[in-house]
Amino acid sequence: MGGTLINAAAVLVGSLLGMLVGDRLPQRTRETVIFGLGLVVLVIALGNAQATKNILIPLFSIAVGALIGEALRLDMRLEALGGWLQKRFGGAETLVSTPEGLPSPVDDRRARFITGFITTSLVFCIGPLTVMGSIQDGMGIPAGFQQLVVKSVIDAFASVAFAATFGLGVAFTALTVLVVQGGLALLGSFAGQFMTTPMIDEMTATGGLILIGLSLILMDIKRPRMANFLPALLIAPFIVAVGTALGVNLYPL
């Protein structure tokens, strides 16, 4: 859990720094920075997606995961959580008079909070460093702790840029990091020895596909409901585990 605590602290510190400089950056500068982060996320995502040895596994995982996520309305639940956090910690709301059809400053602040919370939660909690680092850290393997320290540095710089644009919502991503990576660390302490390399590879590749969708949001190209794809991260290693148990050759030449 040590690596997870460092990672959460790094996100929190980076977010606070980003909020301090955010108001001093012109809107066009913040938009350019976020677009640049989208490009970086896209490159990372493409690399992760190539971890698969059988593209049918991520394909099936994404399709079934999307059906499950849509049925559970995960995107709406995350938005509701973000909205509750904004209402509880984002400052008191006051009545604002605006021309009909135009969003009020309160609505804009709420949207920025929720977008920042959901976007950075996905960016910081999907990827090989998150999965492998947290599980190995939970198993007491030094390499896992080292991977999370590296991830912490990356997330700290990214959170500065995100918080400069989205504000306080990014800081609450530290809670998401604690829950997700802490849960993976606990999983590693109990069942990490059962996570084989193929299972981690397919989970990484599936996460890469999800990150590609997220990069489209950051670059303002399209806004898919990426939260509804999250169940795919569990389905991918499950397929590998079941296939291995049944003696199915998942990786034919």
Please tell me the pTM assigned to this model: 0.72
Identify the CA nearest to 56 among candidates 233, 197, 206.
Answer: 206
pLDDT at 97 over 60: no
Helix axes 173-191 and 142-166, enclosed angle (nearest 10): 160
Q: Higher confidence at residue 134 or residue 101?
A: 134
In the prediction, which pLDDT does 23 show?
66
Among 60-69, 85-94, 147-156, the least confident range: 85-94
Confidence of residue 61 (pLDDT cuts 50, 70, 90): very high
pLDDT at 17 over 80: yes
127 φ/ψ sector (left φ>0, alpha ψ -120 to 50, else beta): left
Q: Higher confidence at residue 115 or residue 179?
A: 179
Among 102-111, 196-205, 207-216, the least confident range: 102-111
CA–centroid distance for 189 within its chain: 22
Among 70-74, 105-109, 170-174, the least confident range: 105-109
86 φ/ψ sector (left φ>0, alpha ψ -120 to 50, else beta): alpha
Identify the CA nearest to 176 among candidates 54, 103, 78, 250.
Answer: 78
Kindly list the distances between the CA atom of residue 56 and the CA atoms of 51, 53, 60, 83, 205, in Å, as whole numbers in the listed order.
13, 9, 6, 37, 11
Q: Where are the domains positioned within the chain?
A: 2-89+104-244
